[in-house]
Chain A
């Protein structure tokens, strides 16, 4: 008796309330999926996924080795599809796996191919149908588009922008949380305001870029002799700050609006242009002019992803120690002092004074001017794994860290706009605009008369996460932290709530309360204790040991929305004092709500219910030897406790497992694994507190009956290549059990004929002229079988006579159509008659002439039948 055990976590549906998960960030479950329509729009265009059988796979592999184009598979029809569909490429979905290749092939994964073709040639569904109809194709389907179920914006590349939202799902080199935590800001505060202007001191922005143009304001070139022109670096930086959001194309920008409301405005202060004589190098312009021009044209944030070049580290160190001087210093000071003010010193912009943000530099050294100039915000770069990017300059002078990426691994870089498209870049140049973008969001939300640049800097640095200080690139920027930083006002307390005991759990429901400085509570803590005094004057940062608690995040709920949670694992049948307190992002706690008493209830054992039509309690399940039954069993613990399931299968035929999608336990009974007979499976469900229930499931595996031939398959003649014939095997072989038999097909010459079994139907396709013998072994699941054989002749009707092989070494065959007396005369090279006989000959009964005694040479074979005479030249070797 074998025993299977499986732990089940959280079966109760109550726990599925999305807002109650501690792990969830706001808004990551806020979209209800709509049923997809089966139209072309739900599929990737120009791509289908195909699985071939072994024979065709061999041909295709040989073809691809030869040059990547299918040629030898001509007989399968692939070559025609290549032409008609405009196939661009065909490559393995699961690429060559090195030392794991043998087991990859054993699993059949080498037979899966992704076919990319010209999408204008044919719709994907039709393309898939075309492939599916070919001999040797086992599967052909279009590729359904994937989507991030929780995406806040519809920009298709947003899921790849881990630097905004990193849940660790992109790869093993992406750590959850290694982002700028901007999504909650978009959901709860702002997506940018066009009153805020960011000057991008960089290469020119591609102002006509589809994902930027709506947020582009103006620009000026500060490179002598050059007008504004699109530059890859500048456009990438600009896209990070304010690529247009929710427009259904490309990427997201941090302060790029929401599709309805525009984001912050960008001005391009061009200080680099691509050198037309050496595209790998840039021609520089006046950075000081550019910085000042930004302040004079309404910008309050100056974005600078550039630095000075030094020959040696020592030179950089010396410059660093000397500090910034010259016009750049003066321009920076000017920007900080005068941005946001008019010529009369009146604040006209959204912020009094400006901030200048600089990239720390990419030399992996401890120095970096102008970033190290104290008044500017110096930005270091981190990777998607909470590590300092290997290139990032570092030191105490670096004010803040942001994602700069690492393109040495897949999707490790920063994805943003480039002229005419999108690309992955890395560098502190890419980290810097993340800070500029968040700064722009802060100004968008908090900006207005009296809001100063120092307040902005306080929020940026104060809200940053400092748990990774060892990176020496400053604390990690946290957009939500910046927005909530400095809040000292706790959210409003919970005025009223409902509470209900469910076994030893207490479910509580209340409404989201507001926060005067953070709009709404960030989360709630539910507490319970058997001692009322423990809940009075509660210090939420150091809860007493006798207080049980559970926290709930508000997420994307708004003030006034209902929210609920559960305190679990309490004592059974015990009276508890309970309450709720709200807290903000800075862990300012409200007062505890009114304390109430709730008595927990007793423990209920899990309930086991078989959800299978053929199951009648108390009766044996009848299972035929070939059958595989899947019997869903619903194991429900109304108390919401964890449940473990133990299965005593009764025989090897029964196995049990949890089905993740349905949450049900599924018993799989495979009839052919155990010998026929009577058995019983016993299922025991036990909750985490030891309460259990048992279900006994008796079953009978019926004896197997072998398949048998009821009618032979007659020899057949096909008359052209590509001709298809179907054979209904149920007319020829029957299985008394009604089992779907497995057909193993052996064809003596697979270049001539292909047979594709589909259920009980054999699809026969002529591939070339000739004859072959077909052997079909029909087997049931227990290996009992019967065998049918027949011959197939593919014969060109315009050529009624076939003389083969030619050249001949021993026996020469002469085949005609219908059976009739046929005279065959063979003459030697000089005219000598060496064979002359008349005998009945037909398609399936060819004349067989022994020519092994004939000397090598040319021979004439004259065949006369039905009043016609044919002469063929045959060579004897």
Chain B
């Protein structure tokens, strides 16, 4: 059985890894990029790295469900508020997620995000204002994990994505993430595909892919002298559009109580451009509060984006 799964997954990886050059596209041609925005304040403060994050498994349905069996907690819930790119075309995102780790063998997770965009004036082809409308976005996820070998787990997320852009104009799509993950000593490594799903058809009849990518993630964590914890992570994506991005972040935790974090994302021409991020958090008796702030340069609209969140785990 386990061998069968491996035999199935390897060709799938190969398809995504070695054929992207044939399906490249121009900027702006990937639909519903909001699905690649992280709503976890810890990940956000670490440059968006999330693939091998084993703490805070409540958000795993957004990235990699295969990380759940490696978590130290049994149950985790979290919620966040995010003001995305406040300097232009802002979106207010409210998200919630939760996960259950069944004895380090199986995992189950779910998440929900509602994003309210900025109200805009509707204008006809003569330049005449005819009204206004507030666009919105919805994302609903579920994730499943199975640690089928002592050193290897598999996880999959299925996401329903929806956006309403104008009166009577709504769009929907289904997306999925599939990962294999292992943990050896302090090292965590995962590989898989993200945002593989249906196409979105425009009013003009053109069809657009979701921002699918092949994703690799790696991380290392260690506690020094019982009080000083260090965790570093890195993610890399090769998109079907032909672009790539790399993220890296680090977190320092004192006495399992206070954390400071920083990270950087190199976005290139991918759907989410480059930015640096910082953040901090506190945790006590399983309850945690975290915040993240994005530092973007130049005329990037991502600057001043921030995320705050809270969670509880045991």
Using a CB–CB cutoff of 8 Å, the interface residues on chain A facing chain B are 748-749, 751-752, 768-772, 793, 795, 802-807, 809-810, 813, 815, 825-835, 851-860, 862, 871-877
Interchain nearest-CB distance for A716 vs B (Å):
15
Closest 4 CB pairs of A and B: A834-B28, A770-B126, A770-B128, A860-B89
Asked whether B121 is an interface residue with its Cβ less than 8 Å from the other chain, the reply is yes
Task: Report which residue of B27, B36, B133, B165 has the largest number of chain A beta carbons within 10 angstroms of its beta carbon.
Answer: B27
Contact call B33/A804, Cβ cutoff below 8 A: no
Contact call A827/B128, Cβ cutoff below 8 A: no
- Contacting A at CB under 8 A, from B192-223, are 200, 202-204, 206, 208
Asked whether B286 is an interface residue with its Cβ less than 8 Å from the other chain, the reply is no
Contact call B269/A832, Cβ cutoff below 8 A: yes
Residues of A within 8 A of B206 (CB): 852-853
Task: Show 24 A/B contacts (Cβ-Cβ < 8 Å), sorted by A.
Answer: A752-B128, A769-B128, A770-B124, A770-B128, A802-B127, A805-B123, A807-B122, A807-B169, A813-B127, A815-B127, A827-B301, A828-B271, A831-B85, A833-B27, A834-B28, A835-B28, A851-B28, A853-B26, A853-B29, A854-B29, A856-B165, A856-B171, A858-B91, A871-B88
Give the CA-CA distance A876 to B135 in the complex, in Å: 11
Choose among A831, A852, A855 the residue that contacts B300 (Cβ–Cβ < 8 A): A831
The digit string for B12-28, where 1 denotes a CB below 8 A from any CB of A, is 00000000000000111
Given A770-B128, A807-B169: A874 touches B120 (CB 8 Å cut-off): yes
Interchain nearest-CB distance for B274 vs A (Å):
9
From B167, which residue of chain A is reached at the shortest CB distance? A807
From B26, which residue of chain A is reached at the shortest CB distance? A853
Give the CA-CA distance A813 to B117 in the complex, in Å: 22
Contact call B37/A772, Cβ cutoff below 8 A: no
Q: Knowing that A793-B127, A825-B299, A860-B85 are A-B contacts, what are 15 other residue pairs whose CB atoms are under 8 Å apart, sorted by A's residue number?
A: A770-B127, A795-B127, A804-B126, A805-B124, A806-B122, A827-B88, A829-B33, A832-B271, A853-B206, A854-B29, A855-B29, A856-B165, A857-B163, A877-B169, A877-B202
Contact call A832/B33, Cβ cutoff below 8 A: yes
Choose among A855, A860, A875 the residue that contacts B30 (Cβ–Cβ < 8 A): A855
Residues of A within 8 A of B272 (CB): 830-832
Asked whether B118 is an interface residue with its Cβ less than 8 Å from the other chain, the reply is yes
Asked whether B34 is an interface residue with its Cβ less than 8 Å from the other chain, the reply is yes
Choose among B28, B89, B273 the residue that contacts A853 (Cβ–Cβ < 8 A): B28
Give the CA-CA distance A852 to B163 in the complex, in Å: 18
Contact call B117/A858, Cβ cutoff below 8 A: yes
Asked whether B270 is an interface residue with its Cβ less than 8 Å from the other chain, the reply is yes
Contact call B301/A831, Cβ cutoff below 8 A: yes
Give the CA-CA distance A824 to B85 in the complex, in Å: 18
Give the CA-CA distance A810 to B87 in the complex, in Å: 26
Residues of A within 8 A of B36 (CB): 830
Give the CA-CA distance A802 to B128 in the complex, in Å: 9
Give the CA-CA distance A173 to B171 in the complex, in Å: 70
Give the CA-CA distance A801 to B300 in the complex, in Å: 22
Give the CA-CA distance A146 to B28 in the complex, in Å: 74
Given A831-B302, A855-B202, A856-B163: A751 touches B31 (CB 8 Å cut-off): no
The digit string for B125-145, where 1 denotes a CB below 8 A from any CB of A, is 111110001010000000000
Residues of A within 8 A of B302 (CB): 831
Using a CB–CB cutoff of 8 Å, the interface residues on chain B facing chain A are 26-34, 36-37, 85, 87-89, 91, 117-118, 120-129, 133, 135, 163, 165-166, 169, 171, 200, 202-204, 206, 208, 267, 269-273, 296, 299-302
Residues of B within 8 A of A858 (CB): 89, 91, 117, 135, 165
Interchain nearest-CB distance for A851 vs B (Å):
8
Contact call B31/A857, Cβ cutoff below 8 A: yes
Give the CA-CA distance A751 to B130 in the complex, in Å: 11
Interchain nearest-CB distance for A704 vs B (Å):
38
Residues of B within 8 A of A862 (CB): 88, 299
Interchain nearest-CB distance for B115 vs A (Å):
9
Choose among B31, B37, B126, B166 the residue that contacts A752 (Cβ–Cβ < 8 A): B126
Residues of B within 8 A of A852 (CB): 202, 204, 206
Residues of A within 8 A of B271 (CB): 828, 830, 832
From B274, which residue of chain A is reached at the shortest CB distance? A831
Contact call A832/B117, Cβ cutoff below 8 A: no
Given A804-B123, A809-B203: A854 touches B37 (CB 8 Å cut-off): no
Give the CA-CA distance A243 to B79 in the complex, in Å: 90
Interchain nearest-CB distance for B137 vs A (Å):
8
Given A805-B124, A806-B123: A827 touches B89 (CB 8 Å cut-off): yes
Residues of A within 8 A of B121 (CB): 806
Interchain nearest-CB distance for B270 vs A (Å):
7
Contact call B169/A854, Cβ cutoff below 8 A: no
Contact call B120/A875, Cβ cutoff below 8 A: yes
Contact call B273/A831, Cβ cutoff below 8 A: yes
Residues of A within 8 A of B267 (CB): 832
Interchain nearest-CB distance for B75 vs A (Å):
31
Give the CA-CA distance A853 to B31 in the complex, in Å: 11
From A862, which residue of chain B is reached at the shortest CB distance? B88
Given A804-B123, A810-B204, A855-B200: A873 touches B89 (CB 8 Å cut-off): yes
Given A807-B165, A875-B135: A751 touches B89 (CB 8 Å cut-off): no
Contact call B124/A860, Cβ cutoff below 8 A: no
Task: Report which residue of A793, A805, A825 has the largest number of chain B beta carbons within 10 angstroms of its beta carbon.
Answer: A805
Choose among B89, B129, B269, B273 the residue that contacts A871 (Cβ–Cβ < 8 A): B89
Choose among A751, A815, A833 the residue that contacts B273 (Cβ–Cβ < 8 A): A833
Residues of A within 8 A of B166 (CB): 807, 875, 877
Interchain nearest-CB distance for A548 vs B (Å):
81
Residues of A within 8 A of B296 (CB): 831
Give the CA-CA distance A832 to B296 in the complex, in Å: 13
Residues of B within 8 A of A809 (CB): 202-204
Interchain nearest-CB distance for A37 vs B (Å):
49
Interchain nearest-CB distance for B151 vs A (Å):
35
Residues of B within 8 A of A877 (CB): 165-166, 169, 202-203
From A835, which residue of chain B is reached at the shortest CB distance? B28
Give the CA-CA distance A875 to B133 in the complex, in Å: 10
Contact call B27/A834, Cβ cutoff below 8 A: yes
Interchain nearest-CB distance for B135 vs A (Å):
5
Contact call B31/A855, Cβ cutoff below 8 A: yes
Interchain nearest-CB distance for B186 vs A (Å):
32
